[in-house]
Homo-oligomer: A and B are copies of this chain.
Amino acid sequence: MERMRVRTDLALEARESFEGSETEVHGVIVEEEYDEERDIRVTRVRIESERGAKEMGKPMGRYLTLEAPGMASPDENYHREISECLASCLLELMGEPHAREVLVAGLGNRDVTPDALGPKAVSNLLITRHLIREYGKAAVGGEGVNAISGIVPGVMAQTGMETSEILQGVIDQTKPDLVIVIDALAARSTRRLSRTIQLTDTGIQPGSGVGNHRGSLTRESLGVPVIAIGMPTVVEAAAIIYDAQGSCERMPPHLNGMFVTPKNIDETVRQLSYTISEALNIAFFPRT
């Protein structure tokens, strides 16, 4: 039985396709937390069994999703609150705090607006690795300071290389404790666009993302923990047909390769990439 024929990168949406069914999905634990004042909802999905992973179509691990309807608004103060909430989610996934060497990779094509989220986010990060190596930890902020490096590897059509090859090479040379990858995602519903951010400790799977990465970027493949931060910026055109008619039977073939995006996607990607980079800056450099 195929419950979902339309691709989604969100665990939240994968789970929704089971809604209304009588039984819970085995080995999948879901918790919701709603901050009414700020209108931010955090959903924690934990896939704990192979069976749950199979049914969800997502690997075992933890998925935190932050939903905030106001995320698409240009209110700077509200974005600061989202960044803070996102920073907490990230720290929760990272576990016990200690000084880390973190490599942040902005995936996607910087020349394709809805795919440029990751590259733009990396461009606003506080980068410290080179300063610590040059001047010492004391000069930069003390023993507890995190050493952050960043890379924008580009996409295969631009580089001729798998993103995984480039990251593996950089990891081998610089030996970070943790890799964070930021990527634009495809959602199944336009309701998710520009208002949902997903964090997961399962990394990136082949076929995910706006740009459809082919190699996996996971702890297993890269040999270092990988946290993926993703935000849906597009819906594939097929998905809205499916939504409207409950199937893709009358899907016109010329819709292949078509994206649905909000009209203001250029502005949204500019703003939300900043919100994400601020979250990382808050998580790694808390003002004590």
Contact = CB atoms under 8 A, between A and B. Distances in A.
Interface string A226-250: 0000000000010011011100001
B257 A259 contact: no
A52 interface: no
A158 B205 CA distance: 27
Nearest to A261: B259
A263 B257 contact: yes
30 contacts: A111-B266, A112-B264, A113-B113, A113-B265, A127-B158, A130-B159, A150-B154, A150-B158, A150-B159, A151-B159, A152-B152, A161-B173, A165-B173, A166-B169, A166-B170, A166-B173, A169-B173, A190-B254, A190-B258, A240-B255, A240-B258, A241-B241, A244-B244, A245-B245, A258-B260, A258-B261, A259-B260, A259-B262, A259-B265, A261-B261
Interface of A: 111-113, 122-123, 127-131, 147-154, 156-162, 165-166, 168-174, 189-191, 210, 237, 240-241, 243-245, 250-252, 254-255, 257-267
User: Can you list the 10 inter-chain pairs with the closest CB atoms, starting with the nearest?
Assistant: A169-B169, A129-B160, A149-B160, A169-B173, A127-B160, A169-B170, A165-B173, A130-B160, A241-B244, A191-B254
